Amino acid sequence: MKKKTINLFLALFIAYSSFSCDSDESKKGRFLLKGNEKMEENDPKSAMGFYREALKIDSTFSEAYFNKALAHNQLNQISESILDLNLAIRYKPGYYEAFFQRGLNYLDNGEFYKAREDASKLIQLDDQNWKSHFLTGLVEEKLKNLPEALKAFEKASQINPENSDLIVNQATILYYIKDYEGSKEILDSAMTLNPMEPNLHNLRSMIYFEEKKYPEAINAVEKAISLDKSQAYFYNNKGLYLLFLDQKEAGLELINQSIKMDPKNPYALRNKGIYYVMRGDRVSALQYLTELNQKYPDMELVAEYLKMAQEL
């Protein structure tokens, strides 16, 4: 499951509207505000410069470390972000938002057990905040503890029932355990909250595909793409559906587009292997599917199409 985007820039600490008479305190506050302004202008490099100036004045300034970590995230510098979050937490041990962001970063880095520790800390700090249970759900999903993930997302949704992303996460877990009817019921409720949520339509397309309703799958994923053209896995899914509608070259084009957008997505490589099986190209199919079967033996369709490739 694709992790949902949290707009943490809304949490930038711009509350420094009043400062003490101390000149250093005022200076570091102004640098923090200037950095936040640059973040709002989508200029994280310049923002980091201002945060560094604030830290020169006060090397224990947790908010500056936190905001600098967000700037690193914007530049996809996850390891550097984690280092800054470590410092933010060192100088402010109960820093809820820093634990939350660090947990998300650990997930991005594949450090799932460290992310679980941060999720546990969030529960200790505030078990009535939906983010505590949201992070728990993301972690348990990555660790393949799907019933626990579902419980966590349900709890998060109870606390924040207007958040359609949390409902889609529940539907995704039900999809993983092949409860398609349950997943569709939850998606219907999410539609009433936010019909413009692209992941909702993408997930519905995946259910249609499992039900072999390929035209319906195409329509649903096209809706997702129309709402968000930046997600590589939307194009990959549409490419897969086109393969099963015997539009192989159009499907391959979209799969290749997805790989260019996200070269690390193994599902796109799987779909390319499926394309070569459908084309009867044994050598090329085995090139993709053999390695995927070794790395991801539980991935849907891999074993099935590897066997078909071997029999070509």
Q: For position 76, which CATH number holds?
A: 1.25.40.10
Q: How far apart are CA 257 and CA 209, in angstroms?
A: 20
Which pLDDT tens digit goes with each residue over 162-182? 898 899 999 999 999 999 999
pLDDT at 212 exceeding the cut of 60: yes
In terms of Cβ atoms closer than 10 Å to its own Cβ (0-12, 13-18, 19+), residue 201 is buried
What does 189-203 look like in DSSP terms, one character per residue?
HHHHH-TT-HHHHHH
| Domain membership flag for residue 299 | no
| Domain membership flag for residue 70 | yes
Q: What is the CA 232 to chain-centroid distance, rounded?
A: 12
| Domain membership flag for residue 14 | yes
| Domain membership flag for residue 213 | no
- State the pLDDT at residue 9: 45
Which pLDDT tens digit goes with each residue over 82-135? 999 999 999 999 999 999 999 999 999 999 999 999 999 999 999 999 999 999
In terms of Cβ atoms closer than 10 Å to its own Cβ (0-12, 13-18, 19+), residue 178 is exposed
| Domain membership flag for residue 127 | no
The continuous run of DSSP H or E covering 148 comes out as: helix 146-159
Q: Which of 107, 108, 27, 95 is nearest to 67 (CA)?
A: 95
| Domain membership flag for residue 303 | no
**How confident is the model over 215-242, as a mean pLDDT?**
96
Residue 37 sits in which domain range? 9-93
pLDDT at 18 exceeding the cut of 90: no
What does 243-267 look like in DSSP terms, one character per residue?
HHTT-HHHHHHHHHHHHHH-TT-HH
| Domain membership flag for residue 26 | yes
Cβ(274)–Cβ(240) below 8 Å: yes
| Domain membership flag for residue 33 | yes
To the nearest whole percent, how much of the chain has pLDDT over 70? Answer: 93
Give the count of domains, the chain.
Answer: 1
Q: When comparing pLDDT for 208 and 21, which is higher?
A: 208
Question: Strand, helix or coil at 211?
Answer: coil
- State the pLDDT at residue 2: 45
Read off the pTM: 0.81
